[in-house]
Amino acid sequence: METHQSILNDIFLQPWFLPLRTSRKIRDLIPPDHHHKMRFYFEDYGCIKCGKKEVRYGSNAMCKPCVQSVKLKMLFAIKRRWRASNPTADAPRTFKRAAEARRLLADLRQVK
């Protein structure tokens, strides 16, 4: 059985961000070649963002570090807009988890 994370990885940056059940139904309609086209791009040309070739694949033709960077930026963009439209509401669990992970991993961050 697929997890929310595997579905997210499979459809990340697709034109839909839908509930798990809906995502599965849409995914079942898409031809297998479509699922692989970004991986094929990565294998032939490297990461679509940084251009590196000898790195671990993440998803959507990006290496693992670039995917994580894009996902984090997307989360922050969504979070800013959510907070602007809901200034007095508690942050959703996803936002809290990201903040806690950032706090816990801060000492591992590379200094440039």
Q: What is the pLDDT of residue 49?
A: 95
Distance separating alpha carbons of residues 4 and 21, to the nearest angstrom: 10
Residue 57 bridge partners (DSSP): 63
- Per the domain annotation, does 63 fall within a domain? yes
Q: What is the pLDDT of residue 23?
A: 72
DSSP 8-class letter at 54: S
> Domain count of the chain?
1
pTM comes to 0.56
- Per the domain annotation, does 54 fall within a domain? yes
Q: What is the pLDDT of residue 66?
A: 94
Which residue range forms the structural domain that includes residue 83? 31-108
- Per the domain annotation, does 62 fall within a domain? yes
- Torsion region of 73: left, alpha or beta (phi above 0 gives left; psi -120 to 50 gives alpha): alpha
- Per the domain annotation, does 85 fall within a domain? yes
Q: What is the pLDDT of residue 3?
A: 57
- Per the domain annotation, does 41 fall within a domain? yes
- Per the domain annotation, does 24 fall within a domain? no
Give the residue ranges of the chain where pLDDT is below 50: 1, 11
Say if CB 28 and CB 10 are below 8 A apart: no
